[in-house]
Amino acid sequence: MSDLDRAIEQLRACRLIPESQVRELCYKARELLIEEGNVVSVDAPVTICGDIHGQFHDLMELFRVGGDVPDTNYLFMGDFVDRGFYSLESFLLLLCLKVRYPDRITLIRGNHESRQITTVYGFYDECIRKYGSANVWRYCCEVFDYLALGALVLGASSELEPTMSGGNDITQSTMPIDDGELETEVLNSRGEVTMSTYRPRQRSSSDVSTDSRNISPPRDISAAPGQTGAPTRTGAPGTGASGYGNGSAMTSRTGAVLCVHGGLSPLIDSVDKIRLIDRKQEVPHEGAMCDLLWSDPDEIEGWGLSPRGAGFLFGGDIVKQFNHLNGLSLVARAHQLVMEGYKEMFDGGIVTVWSAPNYCYRCGNVAAILELGEDARNGGTVARSNGEYGRSNGVVGADGVASTVVSPGRRYRVFEAAAQDTRGMPAKKPVADYFL
């Protein structure tokens, strides 16, 4: 569709498309998104991205570092708009790409994809400024209501293919085990490996769970091991999650990865519960849908009040329990600025990915994206779709026996704000004419 390709080209150059095209785009996107489940199934390989916040030039940098659409399969975890000065360009470009390559890019909803929030934090004003009326804002908000609430990444490989570093190897390997399986790798924007961790190749089901996969950026000292003094159970709790099998026979060794913008909810004990939400509404102030978009992990036990005034804080025990019950190996989420771009917590049970470098043009942070590789033994044949696996597809352990799941190999690409000369001076659009 050449019109769409032209629109993509125009938006890539940071130039807006006419209002009528926006409207058409939004209607098309709506048709597409209405077919998506509240939790979209996505197959590895996929690159998971966090908040963008209208930093268009940095989004371009993200595509440079992570590969272009459709060559790379992307999953964006919301917060496309607000704060930055190019929310419209960023969101419309992502939406165009979604309509153009529906199978190559997944967008889920963030707490900023909401009417209330956007009227306060810039997107509404930007629409008025750039289009002269709130129409485009309305179209976009309508699309927000259709965005999925989460995604489930299936078929990720537990082992990374080592990245070939250039001549100057600046790797600092935490576990240089000759026979180890490459578990995580951190690359800078030039593609050089700056850190890798390994896990032992030989494993029994018991020692995997005690694997040291609490990796975090070298600068980060906050994630101390044994974060909670809680008596955590190592075995399967209670009668276990056995009932979830439901005949779904996933062959992957790694558990699925749940991606949501914020985090978990006390009202959601299984991924299936998310499917019972009528998501086509403004983000509510409470309830499961709100929590998924607003909650944050924290070094506490159980649930806590969120200082944000919406959602909850949840501790490592909650994450462990949730992952175990749902056969997940990892929860990937965004929503919080992390200076290093990503931060793993709770023995690698949850990771925060943040993709807006130098947030608000002044925070001085770097950004990251998370690449999950494809499990080669799957033959890459799992088709991407919604709900075709039956409704309990997030679960390994096909025999109904709760087996320990292995976390997927994780490659973080860290990048900085776009070079100055590629982006010009970021600014809002001034008013054209004025009477007063």
State the catalytic residues.
112
Q: Are 163 and 179 in contact (CB under 8 A)?
A: no
Among 3, 5, 31, 68, binds another protein (CB under 8 A): 31
Q: Are 338 and 365 in contact (CB under 8 A)?
A: yes
CB of 299: closest distance to another protein in angstroms?
9
Indicate whether 229 belongs to the interface with another protein (CB under 8 A). Answer: no
Nearest distance from C-beta of residue 43 to another protein, angstroms: 15
Q: Is the Cβ of residue 255 or residue 394 nearer to another protein in the bound state? A: 394
- Name, in order, each residue with C-beta under 8 angstroms of 147's C-beta and a sequence gap of 6 or more: 33, 78, 107, 108, 109, 113, 279
For residues 123 and 146, what is the distance between their CA atoms, to the nearest angstrom?
A: 18
Pairing label, strands 367-372, 74-76: unpaired
Candidates 2, 231, 247, 399; binder of another protein (CB under 8 A) is: 231
Nearer CB in complex with another protein: 15/285: 285
Q: What residues between 164 and 203 interact with another protein by CB under 8 A?
A: none
**Measured from the CB atom, is 218 or 424 closer to another protein?**
424
Question: Number of residues in contact with another protein, rule: CB under 8 A?
Answer: 108
Kindly tell me which residue out of 242, 249, 379, 380 binds another protein, with binding defined by CB under 8 A.
242
Cα torsion 75, 81, 87, 92: sign:
positive
The CA distance from 140 to 107, in Å, is 13
Query: What whole-number distance in Å separates Cα of residue 276 and Cα of residue 129?
Result: 38
Q: Which is nearer to another protein, 135 or 165 (CB)?
A: 135
- Which helix (H) or strand (E) segment holds residue 33: the answer is helix 19-33
CB of 192 to another protein, least distance (A): 26
Please report, as residue ranges, which positions from 123 to 142 form the binding site for another protein (by CB under 8 A).
129, 132-135, 138-139, 141
Options 93-101, 154-162, 191-199, 268-276: segment touching another protein (CB under 8 A): 268-276
For another protein, the binding residues in 78-107 under the rule CB under 8 A are 85
Give the angle 361-366-369 at the CA atoms, nearest 5°. 115
Q: What is the torsional sign of CA 162, 167, 172, 176?
A: positive
User: 91 or 359, CB closer to another protein?
Assistant: 359
Q: Is 116 in the site for another protein (CB under 8 A)?
A: yes
Nearer to another protein, 164 or 436 (CB): 436
Strands 350-353 and 342-345: antiparallel
The CA-atom distances, in angstroms, between 124 and each of 16, 97, 345 are 16, 22, 35
Q: Toward another protein, which CB reaches closer, 71 or 421?
A: 421
**Minimum separation from the CB atom of position 362 to another protein (A):** 5
Note whether 39 binds another protein by CB under 8 A: yes
**Who's near 55: CB < 8 A, 6+ residues apart?**
83, 84, 86, 90, 356, 357, 359, 361, 417, 426
The CB-of-26 to another protein minimum distance in angstroms stands at 10
Ranges within 272-331 binding another protein (CB under 8 A): 273, 275-290, 294, 300-305, 307-310, 312, 318, 321-322, 325
Q: How far apart are CA 97 and CA 265, in angstroms?
A: 31
**Cα 140–Cα 143–Cα 360 angle in degrees, nearest 5:** 50
Question: In the complex, what is the shortest distance from the CB of residue 56 to another protein, in angstroms, rounded to a whole number?
Answer: 13
Task: Give yes or no for residue 33 binding another protein (CB under 8 A).
Answer: yes
Q: DSSP assignment, residue 417?
A: S
- Within positions 346 to 405, which residues make up the interface with another protein, using CB under 8 A? 359-365, 386-388, 390-391
If one asks whether residue 224 binds another protein (CB under 8 A), the answer comes out as no
Q: How far is CA 312 from the centre of its chain?
A: 19
Q: Which stretch binds another protein (CB under 8 A): 3-11, 64-72, 91-99, 270-278?
A: 270-278
CA 27/CA 50 separation, integer angstroms: 25
Residue closer to another protein (CB basis): 317 or 375: 317
Least distance in Å: CB of 287 to another protein? 4
Q: Which residues pair with 257 in a beta bridge?
A: 153, 330
Query: Which span sits near another protein by CB under 8 A: 176-184, 211-219, 252-260, 422-430?
Result: 422-430
Task: State in angstroms the smallest separation of the CB of 353 from another protein.
Answer: 14
CA pair distance 212, 249, nearest whole angstrom: 28
